[in-house]
Amino acid sequence: MTASSTPGAGSVFIFDMPAPLAPSSVRPSKDASRVVANLPSTVRILVAEDNPVNQRVAVQMLRKLGFEAEVAVNGQAAIERVARGDVDLILMDCQMPVLDGLEATRRLRAEGVRIPIIAMTANALDGDRQACLDAGMDDYISKPIVPAALTQVLSAVPMHRRPGAEAASESG
């Protein structure tokens, strides 16, 4: 265990705790994504989040639902990752360094990117949700994220095809 403290700023405690692997009966099945009505398990989800703990929580929840997920550490990194392709949906934190999620969303929409963007934020006031929607986000989920809320918001989001995905699916 390690600890650090700064007077007037707070303390940080870090500890490692060994834990056994979960038995196979509680690990996600390959059909786990069926609980998300709207999305096939092949959906690639980008988690734009700067906090390492929140990154791990979001990615683990998505993997338990059967989805592939990767992380971008800020809005600028999210824009760069989307430009490389193969992102079907973004879970976007609103407050990040370098470029926040609202501005990243505005830029993506201005570039014509139509993939769903779901806000993830600790701000849960009525005006915060509207600010996310006004920036071009498709939906909103407040932190801390719980699995049922994540499943609900993923089930409700409209999916848009990536350019070229239609031709690939029609030829297969």
DSSP 101-157: HHHHHHHHHHTT--S-EEEEES--SHHHHHHHHHHT-SEEEESSP-HHHHHHHHHHS
- Dist. CA 66–CA 43, nearest whole Å: 9
- The predicted-structure confidence for 102-134, as pLDDT tens digits, reads as follows 999 999 999 999 999 999 988 767 788 889 999
The third-level CATH classification (topology) of the domain covering 40-155 is Rossmann fold (3.40.50)
- The predicted-structure confidence for 27-45, as pLDDT tens digits, reads as follows 444 444 445 766 777 889 9
Cβ count within 10 A of residue 21? 7
Rounded to whole angstroms, the maximal C-alpha distance in the chain is 63
At 22, list the tokens.
């979960």
DSSP β-bridge partners for residue 141? 120
DSSP β-bridge partners for residue 120? 93, 141
The CA-based angle 47-117-31, given to 5 degrees, is: 65
- pLDDT at site 162: 44
pLDDT averaged over every residue in the chain: 81
Lowest-pLDDT range, 53-57, 121-125, 165-169?
Answer: 165-169
pLDDT at 1 over 80: no
